[in-house]
Structure 1
Amino acid sequence: MNPPPIAAEQTPASAARPRWLILLAALALMALTARLGWWQLDRAAQKRALQAAIEAQADAPALPATALPADEAEAERQRYRRITLQGQWLPQYTVYLENRQMQGRPGFFVLTPLKLPAGDAVLVQRGWLPRDMLDRTRIAPYRTAEGEVQLEGRIVTWPSRLTALGAEASGAIRQNLDFADEAARVNTALRPFAIAELDQPGNAKDGLLRDWPMPAVDVHKHYGYAAQWFAFCALTAGLYVWFQLIRPRRRQPAAGPD
């Protein structure tokens, strides 16, 4: 009978190889998580710069009516700037965007085109009205001035779209507002942006609420993500030191006396 084969002894080089692989894997994971942490800090810095730009635009002096943007690109450059306008309301084209909140309450955004002296029009987000909880089609009373009016507002984008269930309504109460459809309905040249009207002495008693919030860029979430990635990096380092350095030494038998 042949003797059983003798297992080959593990050389020091082969025994050390897994430790080097574990070290390289730990260093790679630490580098990745640290890089992701710094990337989140960089995103936070970009968001802080964006917030500062928004606040600078909002605090700048009001533009004259002649500076009203002509196209969407120009409106984006002047976004959140205050502007003074003159014109006449076109109340027959007023639209009520439903499911819009203000101060935590559901209601409607009231949007009315303002006919400008040049003959074209711009959509004005005039204010907010509360929703009647018993009858959603009942619009709370408010006042619309006749004749030439002067108002101050902020240049904003076209009203944002909400998720619609089923076909879009076509009456005065809408879920969303399409620019091309609205321009065809008003039957006049319509600027491709909107104006959020601000409170002023002339409209203080028209029954509309205008507590428009400025956009928040949410910088703090990036600091939270960065803290998580740096915690993962520190955890990887701590686990490597414990399992590869401290624990093996603690398990070694103490040397006896000679």
Structure 2
Amino acid sequence: MSAYRFLLSGRWIGWFLLACAAAAVAVYLGGWQMDRNDHLVGENGKITRNYRAEPLSGPPAAAQFADHDPALTWHPVRLTGQYLPEDQVLVRNRPQDGRVGYEVLVPFRTQDGDVVVLDRGWIPTGAAANGMPDEVPAPPAGQVTVTARLQPGEPAVDRGAPEGQIATIHLEELQERWGYPVGTAAFGEVFAEDPAPAVSPAPAPEPETGSGPHLSYSLQWYAFAALFFVAYGYAARQQARNDEWDRQYAEEMERHLSQFYDADGHYVGEGDEELVLRQMEMADDMPAHLKSLMRPRSQRRRARATWEDEEDALLDALEERDGSLTARD
């Protein structure tokens, strides 16, 4: 473990804390994406259960507009009563099928006297430069039976709108606008009217139930959190290896230069000392990526001598024999 004592230095502690902070952010983002996935799964479950369910009718249906159960979002309700077309408003900036238009909101008074908000559907903007619709289909007059799907009200926005229009379906604001009690917990998206008018707004399209990318994004963020520590460990391993190589390099240079100086530091080499000093300066100033080129390579043990080794041994033997013959003569 002595090779990793550098991990206790301020620099490496800082890198570790940075990895912890980055991992914490990644875990938070992974959890956020997982929450979005869970919410989407829940919404898809509501659509699957409720979209084509048997409609609620009578007082239970009207009660949902005053006290909406979120589990019944998208559930159909059937109401009988009369539209109040004099209070009709348009919700602006509503896209559908790649076009921008309006949603038509009309209050509806049930037979029991409750007033609820119904969204009769979508109409496109007209050809005029002012962006207003060419025509707003009128609701059926007299007693009507409507079938709509429950939707919670929308939040308020700090954005104005021209006369007869609103920026969002904020039910409390509509109640203040109309000046009479209105169910403020939910509104209904109409998809059937009896009797059916000759012309009516386009109903809301069926919602998609795709899973979306949130689950995969969440797993990616969790993987990133782990990778930060993997990268830290890899960097520490590389640092330990570099330190070991530097120690080997220093030992090799010390062995190489020991042939030029004795134990007292006197120069005993045969060449010019100036060249040796320059060599030492070059070694000290050498960049790390060049030092690695001079680091000693690990020597592998050979199982048996190669033909080069045998040739060298033969030459050495011949030199020794020639030397002994010369001495004898």
Same fold (TM over 0.5): yes
Partner of 2:87: 93
Alignment deviations for residues 27-73 of structure 1 (CA, whole Å, 9 cap, x no partner): 84696478557635743345424422343232432111321225654
Partner of 1:5: none
RMSD between aligned residues: 3.8
Asked if 1 retains the 8 angstrom alpha-carbon contact of 2:23 and 2:225, the reply is: no
Letter in structure 2 aligned against 1:17: R
Partner of 2:112: 118
Asked if 2 retains the 8 angstrom alpha-carbon contact of 1:80 and 1:156, the reply is: yes
Aligned pair 1:254/2:302, yes or no? Answer: no
State the SS of the aligned residue for 1:203.
Answer: coil
Distance of 2:67 and 2:188 partners within structure 1: 15
Distance of 1:199 and 1:122 partners within structure 2: 16
State the SS of the aligned residue for 1:100.
Answer: strand
What is the TM-score normalised by the length of structure 2?
A: 0.60
How far apart are 1:233 and its partner, in Å?
A: 2.3
How far apart are 1:191 and its partner, in Å?
A: 1.0
Distance of 2:300 and 2:126 partners within structure 1: 91
Partner of 1:8: none
Alignment deviations for residues 162-215 of structure 1 (CA, whole Å, 9 cap, x no partner): 552xx554x323334553453345443211121110146753742310134537
Aligned pair 1:153/2:148, yes or no? Answer: yes
State the SS of the aligned residue for 2:214.
Answer: helix
Asked if 2 retains the 8 angstrom alpha-carbon contact of 1:33 and 1:230, the reply is: no
Alignment deviations for residues 7-34 of structure 1 (CA, whole Å, 9 cap, x no partner): xxxxx96x64323675992884696478
How far apart are 1:124 and its partner, in Å?
A: 0.5
Asked if 1 retains the 8 angstrom alpha-carbon contact of 2:140 and 2:197, the reply is: no
- Structure 1 unaligned runs (5+)? 1-11
What is the TM-score normalised by the length of structure 1?
A: 0.74
State the SS of the aligned residue for 1:188.
Answer: coil
Matched length: 243
Distance of 1:189 and 1:149 partners within structure 2: 21
How far apart are 1:87 and its partner, in Å?
A: 0.6
Aligned pair 1:60/2:53, yes or no? Answer: yes
Asked if 1 retains the 8 angstrom alpha-carbon contact of 2:155 and 2:170, the reply is: no
Aligned pair 1:25/2:16, yes or no? Answer: yes
137, 140, 153: which one pairs with 1:142? 137
More moved, 137-146 vs 243-252 = 243-252
- Residues 159 and 35 (structure 1), Cα distance of their counterparts in 2 relative to 1, 3 Å cut: closer
How far apart are 1:147 and its partner, in Å?
A: 0.9
Greater radius of gyration (CA): 2
Same amino acid, percent of matched pairs: 14
Alignment deviations for residues 146-174 of structure 1 (CA, whole Å, 9 cap, x no partner): 1110111011122555552xx554x3233
Distance of 1:152 and 1:191 partners within structure 2: 17
